[in-house]
Amino acid sequence: MKTIYLAGGCFWGTQKYFDQFDGVVRTRVGYANGPGNRGSHVEGPGNKGSHVQESGGSLPGWPERQVSYQEVCAGSGHAETVELVYDEAVISLTKLLEYYFLVIDPLAVNRQGNDRGIQYRTGIYYTEESQKEEIRAVYRRQEDLAGGPLAVELGPLLNFCPAEEYHQKYLDKNPGGYCHIPQRFFALDQEEPAEAVESEEDLRARIGDIAYEVTQHAATERAFTGRYDEYFEKGIYVDVVTGQVLFSSEDKYNSGCGWPAFTRPVSRDALTEHKDESYGMVRVEVRSAQGRSHLGHVFNDGPRDQGGLRYCINSAALRFIPYEDLDKEGYGSWKGILVCLLGLVSVRLLKLYLSPVIVDALGSHWGKLTFSIIYTFYFIAFFPLLLNLYHKMTDKMDEADKTDYRAAA
């Protein structure tokens, strides 16, 4: 039996996720690599260099006392971590790490999903020197996919405190409890685990040659040839590789550049940005956050009244989901969001075009007062939808449930 320690955001979901795999003998959640025993080198986003470096230090150190959840939330410096004991004859460490990278954002610093704080950082902590080379091989492949350094710590386990009992197997005890990992990842096909990490050949066959070259090798489709260049139907645009929602039709406009153009993504966390110096130019590349698929570039020559940005995206990197098919395709929750976005756009149009007309007709004082009343009632009418938008964009996080359980620690 071997043991590995993985920090992947809130440990409730991470433990539930790994419990499903054959070869994982047992799991336990706790707090790892806090202050003390800090003589060892732990690689992470604060270190220099683009690739994994040698780690030093002893294996492992242990804290002098138990750490409480309140201390961790107050910034003790520990990471919420899952201790995995696995049978390497059934499941390899490489396979476990491939599963691990499926459910984390490796570029996020001190954040996973809706959870923010140093305790939610990502990390791979080993207990035997013999594990290091296997981990480094997986880590380097993920760096290559991301196009740069990861924000995932890599180093020896320095210390580990088991968490309070109510945290152990939390989602088994509370099936409706909060989890930052989508539910579909708790039912991966264990009979054919290779499907969870799709091969390059299978991916190319599924999405096509052009989409594969664009998303995986940063190719660019020829201008004015993409199917979505002048396409303005109502719906959402998702990553052709992973299905992650990236853009809304409400933010799409005709820039005349020859590729689909958007003023913004559906959320700030949907994309990652990278410096691109290819072809003798300096540009900002954008990739999908979940699949790290190359999408295109972002420029600062977009509509000024909508933020001034132009997301120039390859059609081949996208799949369009029409509004009427959102339920059938599993994106039903986005219906309310699209209605909200339409409402916000119409409010903006009211302000830009209706206000001057009313002011000219009624005079400055009465015109502004009349428009203010219309504007206020219009906004109030959309308030329930805006509230729904907030909940959808935060993955319907049940803060009350989470706070109640965590306050009991």
CATH number at residue 293: 2.170.150.20
Report the number of distinct structural domains present in the chain: 3
291-296 mean pLDDT: 93
Catalytic residue among 10, 161, 179, 340: 10
- pLDDT reported for residue 336: 56
Q: Is the per-residue pLDDT at 40 higher than 70? A: no
Distance CA 368, CA 252 (A): 31
Do 178 and 154 have their domain in common? yes
pLDDT at 368: 60
The pLDDT, as a whole number, for residue 279 is 83
Instruction: Choose the catalytic residue: 161, 179, 312, 340.
Output: 312
Give the tens place of pLDDT for each residue, 351-379.
Answer: 555 556 655 665 566 656 665 666 566 55
Residues 101 and 211 occupy one common structural domain? no
Tell me whether residue 73 is one of the annotated catalytic residues: no
For 386-395, what is the mean pLDDT? 50
Residue 333: the pLDDT is 63
Residue 140 predicted with pLDDT over 60: yes
Among candidate residues 45, 76, 72, 51, the one with its CA nearest the CA of residue 152:
45
Q: Domain span at residue 397?
A: 334-407
Annotation says 10 is catalytic:
yes
Helix locations, 253-354, DSSP H: 334-349
Q: What is the DSSP string of 127-165?
A: SSGGGHHHHHHHHHHHHHHHTS--S-EEEE---EEEPPG
Domain identity same for 177 and 248: no
Contacts of 259 (CB under 8 A, 6+ apart): 221, 223, 226, 229, 296, 312, 313, 314, 315
The b/e string for 189-199 (b: 16+ C-beta within 10 A; e otherwise) is eeeebeeeeee
For CA atoms 172, 173, 174, 178, the dihedral sign is: negative
- Name the phi and psi angles at 269, rounded to 5: -90, 0
**Residue after which a domain boundary falls, among 166, 182, 197:** 197
136 and 275 belong to one structural domain: no
Res. 397: pLDDT tops 90? no
Same domain? For 175 and 239 the reply is no
Q: Which of 137, 169, 197 is the last residue of a domain?
A: 197
User: For residue 290, what pLDDT band results from cuts at 50, 70 and 90?
Assistant: confident
Question: DSSP class of residue 243?
Answer: -
Say if residue 214 is in the same domain as residue 179: no
Q: Return phi, psi of residue 68, to 5°.
A: -90, 160
When the pLDDT of each residue in the chain is averaged and rounded to a whole number, the result is 80
Query: Given a cut of 80, is residue 20 above it in pLDDT?
Result: yes
Instruction: Please check whether residues 290 and 368 belong to one and the same domain.
Output: no
Share of the chain above pLDDT 70, in %: 71
333/152: higher pLDDT: 152
What is the pairing mode between strands 122-126 and 153-156? parallel
Strand bridging mode 245-248 / 235-239: antiparallel
* pLDDT reading at 36 higher than 90: no
Q: Which of 237, 221, 233, 241 is nearest to 297 (CA)?
A: 221
Q: For residue 2, report the phi and psi dihedrals to the nearest 5 degrees.
A: -120, 160
Least confident residue range of 173-187, 316-330, 335-349, 392-406: 392-406
Domain shared by 44 and 90, yes or no: yes
**Which strands sit side by side in the sheet containing 153-156, from one edge to the other?**
153-156, 122-126, 2-8, 79-86, 24-32, 160-162
